[in-house]
Every structure is written in C-alpha cells, then in structure tokens.
Amino acid sequence: MSDESAFTFLPLGAIIQEFNVGGTNIVQGFRTQEDYVHHNTPFFGATIGRVANRLKNGRLENVNGQTYSLAINDAPNSLHGGDQGWGKRIWEGPKAVNRNGKEGILFKYVSKHGEENYPGTVEVRVWYTASKEDDGKTVLETEYEAELVGDEVEETAVNITNHSYFNISGGPTIKGTIAQLSTDQCLPLDETSIPYGHVDRFSKVKVAEPFTLGLAENEVDDCFLVESDPSKVSLDTRAQPVTLLGAFSHPDSKLHLEVYSTEPAFQFYTGNGVDVPEVNGVPAREKYAGFCVEPSRYVNAANVPAWRHMSVLKKGQVYGSKIVYKAWKQ
C-alpha cells in the first residue's frame, strides 16, 4: 500500500490504529490489539456495524415482516451494532490488493444470521487505500461494501461507519482546534439521541462557521445532513461524488484535517464523554481527547418508513459507501 508507513490497521474491527501526519499520530488508540479488546469502550478507530449509531428502543421493526429485539447497550436504545458489534469482531485480513488502480488492503468479515440477533448472513468488505497528493497531503480512502449472502431471510439492516477519534493538537486534548462543518442542517434528536423525524438548522453552535473545540459551550453530539431529501439517498452511495463534511486545523501544531464522504449524513461528536485510564504505557484519555466525524445513513433509518430504503439491504442488492480523509502539516 503506497505511503503505508503513515498507517497501521488491525484485524480486530478493521481498526485504524495509526494515522501519522508530520510526525504525529492523529487518531486515538492503543498499543496492541489485546488492549483494544479490553479497553476500547469509546470505539477508537473501529468499523461500526451491522448498524451504526442508534436503533430506537433496541428494535429492528418490520424487517422480514417481523420485529427483532436487539441489545440495549445505550438505554433505551441499541448502539453501534450491539454488545459485540463489528468493531469487536476479528476480521480476515489485511490482504494486499489493487483497488481502483491503487495499492490498498482489504478486510473481510462474515456476520452470521442471528449475530447480535440481527437477521441474515452478511459479508462485509472494507478497503483502505493510502496515497500522497502532489501538494503533500496524506490521503486515506475507505470503501465499504456489504451483501446479504445467506438464505435465511430476504432482508436485513446495514449502516456502516468508522469511529476514529481525531486529535490534531499535538497535545492530550482537542482544545484550541478550529472546526468548521459543511452544513448546519441536522436531524433534531430527542433526549435519547433518536431523531424526531424532521430536518432543522442546528442552533446550539454555529457549526457552519469556524468554532473552537474543547469548550463546554461548543460540545456537540448530533447528526448533520449532507442530503436532506431522503428520496435521493441510495443504498449504495459510491456513485455520488465525495463531499466535504468538515475541515479542522490547529494553530499550534499546524496540522490540518478534512473529512469527505459519499454519505447523506454524519454524526459529529466532540469527545464529551471520553474516559479511558492509562493502558500499557499510553496515558489516560479524558474529556475532549478526540473528535469524531462518522459518515453514515440517517440515525434509526431502518425503523422510519421514509428512510428505510437507505439502510434495509435485500438479497441481490449491494450496500456501499466511501470516506476520504486528507491530512497535512503546514
């Protein structure tokens, strides 16, 4: 994989363990895979599925004509695929491959029917392709693909993202990082972080203008929309152009990060609840240790009639998406 020295990945959860830019690893993580097994409560770097974010009341409704009860691990909802979601499973790989004319690596996982009580056997594939642009920017492209490969049922639900926590400050927290999101359109959430169902403008913080991370008044954990018309969202978004979701920089470290995706939505989280003790010589991570940009489908899409087409995967269909990270030191 070109520019592979900038990155390391793990079979556990197809995790992004290191993303090195200008001598700094800009993602949070641990030294060993075993450390992730025992201590990764924040989902550092993990591939999230079968369904990222939350499903209301831990239920997958009207799929195969029935309702499936899922793990309640973020009461009253099911979060990030349940107690043992894809980020906690051992994947096959990394396997060196050529992807779209570039050297990359492939991770593959087969999620069996009934795993975390989700219906259907799903094969999911993740490609990571690293490169260097002419202007010196380090680029990591992530591509997701999933298919229903078993004969147990006719459909299931899928929503995949990556849960990397970025810190470009060069210090222990993201304080002082300047952020600007590409949109302030959002899905207003209830007290359990489930959308009410309508689209609005985010008003707590002026996220579409530059704002500073690491301040109590600028805490965010919300779902923002790139495409606010659900009828325009397909199950495989890879035919869409990658769109800038957010741009980030830090005046002291001179590090910059841009996140792009083909996805219609993204959860932006400022690390308000991070609390990880010292592990194997890695210092404790506390509040504001990193921020997350999680491109995905709408939250709880599979349970909302007008949104379910973007998350319900039927036999013979392919789910797909892309995320692109660009980072540099200036």
Q: What is the pLDDT of residue 284?
A: 98
Edge-first strand listing for the sheet containing 221-225:
200-201, 185-186, 221-225, 265-269, 292-296
- Distances from the Cα of 4 to the Cα of 16, 108, 132, angstroms: 12, 19, 10
Phi-psi region of 136 (alpha: psi -120 to 50; beta: other; left: phi over 0): left
- Distances from the Cα of 152 to the Cα of 108, 120, 148, 270, angstroms: 20, 6, 10, 40
By the 8 A CB rule, do 318 and 146 touch?
A: yes
**Res. 5 pLDDT band, cuts 50 70 90:** low
**Res. 222 pLDDT band, cuts 50 70 90:** very high
The dihedrals phi and psi of 318, each to the nearest 5 degrees, come to -130, 130
Element (H, E) at 244: strand 243-249
- Please give the domain boundaries of the chain with CATH numbers for all domains: 4-329 (2.70.98.10)
The pTM for the full model equals 0.97
The dihedrals phi and psi of 160, each to the nearest 5 degrees, come to -110, 140
Amino acid at the residue 13: G
In angstroms, the CA 71 to CA 84 distance is 9
Q: What is the pLDDT of residue 177?
A: 98
By the 8 A CB rule, do 79 and 330 touch?
A: no
In angstroms, the CA 208 to CA 94 distance is 37
Catalytic annotation present for 198: no
Question: 95-133: per-residue pLDDT in tens?
Answer: 999 998 899 999 999 999 999 999 999 999 999 999 999
Question: 125-163: per-residue pLDDT in tens?
Answer: 999 999 999 999 999 999 999 999 999 999 999 999 999
Percent of the chain past pLDDT 70, that is, above it, reads 98
Selecting among 163, 250, 256, 309, the annotated active-site residue is 163
Residue 146 pairs with which residues in a beta bridge? Answer: 124, 319
